[in-house]
Structure 1
């Protein structure tokens, strides 16, 4: 029995040492491997920036990564999240080239995060543009009145419940919201102007929410090259100075619940939120609508 315990201890110790040595070995070699062009995917509505920012931060420090291709297929998303990704893209391009590759759709917030890149590549038929801000909420006052539902609101200030769905919005509340929208819109315009080196007034001339094809966007100065992902990788190789760099597709790390129930785990999370009585928050969006 004692020999068995000793054997188990030796095996566990060997596994532990092997894991530590492997980690150190990989860390030592990091940056000295084959030159790579990293492909980071940003797909769907951008509700959070955490995963993308962390990935870009890791790639920025990895010396084997000579350039990054940001593959964007998104109609946009939450203002704050889009701005954080945009700022991180700008930071990374100070150390290595970043090429935005627009897929089927890279509109509103999808365009926002793209213009921070060194160069932008879009398909001729990519849907982009939609520069603007939107905030939507339901108003249920009339329905509540018909059903005899009375909602009691206790608040700290007059404008604390600006978009309370159970009361008619007053002009002053809507004015405050409009000022918020206008300020966020101005930030969007300035980001596009800065990223694409265009005059603010020129950007404003087409920043009214309209959408464009990739070809039209190139005419407007929002896009540098027409083509797909392969063209974007070619551009990244040219900019990096490593023509033989290999493509490296960054895999998204999934949480345990995502691995168990798949990508639709957000729906499961929403169910749990509803069961806890949590109300979905109103979000300011850079979103194609």
Structure 2
């Protein structure tokens, strides 16, 4: 009798454990179906972008790092790019756009949510995603390329400034503001602009499934509202970020309310101890703290902060 009770108890325990493991497995599966939110803020620039006292924004280094994190995280089924950018560098936009395509090739769903503005390079990135959401009043479009140039020759003459230079070739100082551009140089630069423009409209044509000629008609540099962009086929849906999240979940086959995870979200401590801020604090603290390592120890600084 005693043995039967023990066997029954063991069976109950094993059954209970199986239920818990089974339930845990389902819970983990539900937890694993996440949507990553990656913000694209400010002017899109190569490298670290707009590096300031409290943040780094728009830099390709950070954006590509976040895209890689989303690709490597098996729990992430979809990514929403929250774009709030007027554009920026063409090479930087292209670099991030190619990473978005690699992310999609890995099997992840990538959707764009446009904020106040997603124009020029911002639209380049959006065109690389599967679906684009914009608010009716979002400013987007501005598909085109330009090289800024200013000629201050007359101003220099008025204030008595005469620039001289020794150069290795006739075009080494192209775009110099102290002399007029030659017709040959203008043709060279126009050729560069045309080449980059062709690459841009090719990205839009492929991303939006449009004919190149149709894209050229829309890509004269003008800006569109979200409403207008939807009518023209440059945007898929009108809606905010959470509409984009729901759309991404549907595309990824996520059932129920998805778990959201913001990539690149910076804590107050990271803002105070990362990047340029870290170096600035070193400069401020070291002259006043002779025994800096000992005095800073109670602050539990990260291990990679080497105070010497």
The TM-score range, normalised by the shorter chain, is 0.7 to 0.9
Q: For residue 138 of structure 1, report the CA deviation from its aligned partner.
A: 2.5
The 5-angstrom pairing of residues 37-56 of structure 1 reads: 37-48=35-46, 49-56=60-67
CA distance in 2, matches of 1:56, 1:229: 18
Q: What residue number does 2:72 align with?
A: 61
Match of 2:275 among 225, 231, 256: 256
Report the equivalent of 2:91.
80
- The one-character-per-residue Cα deviations of 1:11-30 (angstroms, maximum 9, x if unpaired) are xxxxxxxxxxxxxxxxxxx9
How many residues are matched?
Answer: 232
Q: How far off its partner does 1:247 sit?
A: 1.1
What CA RMSD, in Å, does the superposition of the two structures yield over aligned residues? 2.0
Counterpart Cα distance in 1 of 2:44 and 2:187: 27
1:220 aligns with 2:194: no
Say if 2:111 and 2:244, in contact at 8 Å, map to a contact too. yes
Q: How far is the alpha carbon of 1:260 from its aligned partner?
A: 8.4
- Residue number in structure 2 paired with 1:161: 173
Q: Which residue matches 1:144?
A: 156
> 1:83-122, aligned counterparts within 5 Å?
83-94=94-105, 95-122=107-134
Alignment of 1:229-244 (within 5 A): 229-243=241-255, 244=257
Question: Within 1, Cα distance between the matches of 2:209 and 2:217?
Answer: 15
* Cα distance in 1 for residues equivalent to 2:263 and 2:228: 30
Once the two structures are TM-superposed, the CA of residue 219 in structure 1 deviates from its matched residue by 1.5
1:247 to 260, 277, 293: 260
Greater relative contact order: 1 or 2 (C-alpha under 8 angstroms, separation 6 or more)? Answer: 1
Residue 171 of structure 1, CA deviation: 1.5
**Structure number with bigger Rg:** 2
Q: Return the offset for 1:184.
A: 0.9
Compared with structure 1, are the counterparts of its residues 216 and 171 closer, same or farther at alpha carbon in structure 2 (3 Å cutoff)?
same
Measure the CA separation in 2 of the matches of 1:76 and 1:139. 25
Deviation of 1:158 after TM superposition, in Å, equals 1.1
- Which of 32, 35, 42 is 1:34 aligned to? 32
Paired residue secondary structure (1:76):
coil
Tell me, which stretches of 5 or more residues in structure 1 are unaligned?
Answer: 1-29, 262-289
Cα 1:259–1:34 change in 2 (3 A) is farther
Q: Distance in 2 between matches of 1:142 and 1:225?
A: 50
**Residue 32 of structure 1 contacts residue 63 of structure 1 at CA under 8 Å; is this kept in 2?**
no
Secondary structure in 1 matching 2:88: strand
Structure 1 residues 162 and 199 mapped into 2: Cα distance closer, same or farther (>3 Å)? same
The DSSP-based 3-state class of the residue aligned with 2:243 is helix
Give the Cα separation in 2 of the matches to 1:89 and 1:234.
Answer: 20
Where 1:72 maps in the other structure, the secondary structure is strand
Instruction: Give 1:59 deviation, angstroms.
Output: 0.7
Tell me which residue corresponds to 2:295.
none
Contact 1:31 1:65 in 2 (8 A): no
Greater displacement, 71-80 / 149-158: 149-158
TM-score (norm 1): 0.76
Question: Do structure 1's residue 133 and structure 2's residue 131 form an aligned pair?
Answer: no
Q: Flag structure 2 segments of 5+ consecutive residues without an equivalent.
A: 1-27, 47-59, 281-308
